[in-house]
Structures are given as structure tokens and as C-alpha cells.
Structure 1
Amino acid sequence: MKETKVDDVRIIDLPKIKDSRGNLSVIENNTIPFDIKRVYYLYDVPSDAYRGGHAHKKLVQFLIPLSGSFDVILKDSIKTKSVTLNKPNKGLLITSGVWRELENFSSGAVCLVLASEVYDEDDYIREYKAFKNYKGL
């Protein structure tokens, strides 16, 4: 397995087509580096709640803040990084093998998630201690 790091996580700018009637952003096959196999979204998340709290062995995700804002806390075996997502034309590419937590959801926030794989419970690492063991700590 390739050792993935927080530094492998990156913001990808989505095309933004401006128009007096409103803006439009599009995601096509060449926008993100994987084929989309699952799409879901988070909404009505209380401001004091958090989502995520896991890592994936194989799955790659692309998170887009369709509305509002939220923070993504990322961890690898060495580094922790926080990213605030608040622009619907900028998404966060999260590689496999990186722990993620989503928190500080603003009122009305909607997080769209594009995933490289269909749901597979065996791909999840849900306990942080198990994640550290997986990373060799």
C-alpha cells in the first residue's frame, strides 16, 4: 500500500461559469481523478455535531460545500491539518488512508460527497486506535 499523507489531500477548483442568472459549476470525467461510483450528501447537521470520524483503506472522496461551510480535520500518522470548505466551486480531494472528521457546520450547510467506490463496510477504519495500527504506529 502506498503510504498516503495529509499532504496528498488537496483542493480542486471546479469550473465556474458566471452568468447574470447565477453561477454554474460542473464536474466531468476529467475534473477529479476517479470514476464516481457513489454520491451522497450531508445536511441538517447540528452545529455542535461532527461527521466522519473514520478513514478508508481504498475509497477516495471529493467533498463539495454546496451551501454554507464546515471544517474538515485530516490526520495521517504524523500530521494534522484543518481545511475550511465554504465555496461551492472548490472541493476537497481526500485520499485513502487519511483520517477525516467534519465539524463546525454552519446553519444550512450541505456537503456533497463523491466517492470512488460503492459502500463497503470492510473498507472503513472506524476506531482511531485501529487507524494508528493500520498506519504502523
Structure 2
Amino acid sequence: MNKPYLIEFPKLGSPDIGYISVAENSSLIPFDIKRVFWTYYTPESIVRGRHAHYKTEQVLVAVTGRIIVTTEMPDGEIHTFILDNPHVGVYIPPSVWHTMQYSHTAIQMVLASQPYNEEDYIRDHADFRKQWNK
């Protein structure tokens, strides 16, 4: 089973003109992108996510601000990633429970391997644990 990991996108430019990062035809993203969405204005006291997916793979990027991403593998292994640079993302494979906590200014962009499908979500942590601890 794949584990979550950081992806560093190219950072092109310089401090005097600014930067651009690209994920175009990228071998950095281990799936074809079928959906892109973003979250913003999330209060710092709110923890979002709190789910896993059966099929969907995702790459999360903090376009601005800071996002703390916590992942839990089916075997209970936990990883914490701090996203605070717009050219770094974290890959979230299927079957990985994940939560996100945002700084007030955070904007998160998500690249997903599947269109939205409610049936792909595991929203109850106890169900997540049962799914792989049979």
C-alpha cells in the first residue's frame, strides 16, 4: 500500500520577478487529474477532512497560508505534514484517513483522481478501522 508523501513541484522564477510552479503533464502526480477544487476562509479552530476514500487519490497544496495535514494508514501509522510553501504538496493515496487544519489565510487546492462520488467516502473513523482490520 502506498503511503502519503511530499511532492515538490518546480519553482521557476526569482525573488525580483516572482515564481510559477507547474504540474503540467507531470510525472510528479501519480494519477490523471479528474477534479480540482479549493477550500478557503476556514476558521483556524475547524478541523476538516475527517474521512478516507475507497478509490480517490489526491494531492493537497497550500496555495497560501499553512495547512497541517494528518494522515492515518489502515495499520494505524500516523504521519503529519505541514504545508506552508505553494510549490509543495502532499499525496494522499486511497484508504488513508486524513484531516486538515488551516491558518486563517490558507487556501488549499486539491487535485483528485476521481470526480466527486459520495459512495467513495468513508466518513466514520470506526468504519475506517473496521474496513482493514477484519
TM-score by structure 1 length?
0.91
1:21 aligns with 2:21: no
Kindly state the Cα deviation for residue 50 of structure 1 after the two structures are TM-superposed.
1.1
> What percentage of aligned pairs have identical amino acids?
36
Q: Deviations over 1:74-113 (max 9, x none)?
A: 101221111111000001001001000001x112100000
Structure 1 residue ranges (4+ consecutive) displaced by more than 2 angstroms after TM superposition: none
Match of 1:69 among 59, 66, 75: 66
Task: Give the paired residue count.
Answer: 131
Kindly state the Cα deviation for residue 9 of structure 1 after the two structures are TM-superposed.
0.7
Match of 1:48 in 2: 45
Secondary structure, aligned partner of 1:88? coil
1:12 aligns with 2:7: yes
How far apart, CA to CA, are the structure 2 residues paired with 1:75 and 1:56? 12
What are structure 2's unaligned runs of at least 5 residues? none
Secondary structure, aligned partner of 1:129? helix
Matched-pair contact (CA < 8 Å) for 1:74–1:99: yes
TM-score by structure 2 length?
0.93
Note the aligned Cα RMSD (angstroms).
1.1
What are structure 1's unaligned runs of at least 5 residues? none
Matched-pair contact (CA < 8 Å) for 1:14–1:89: yes
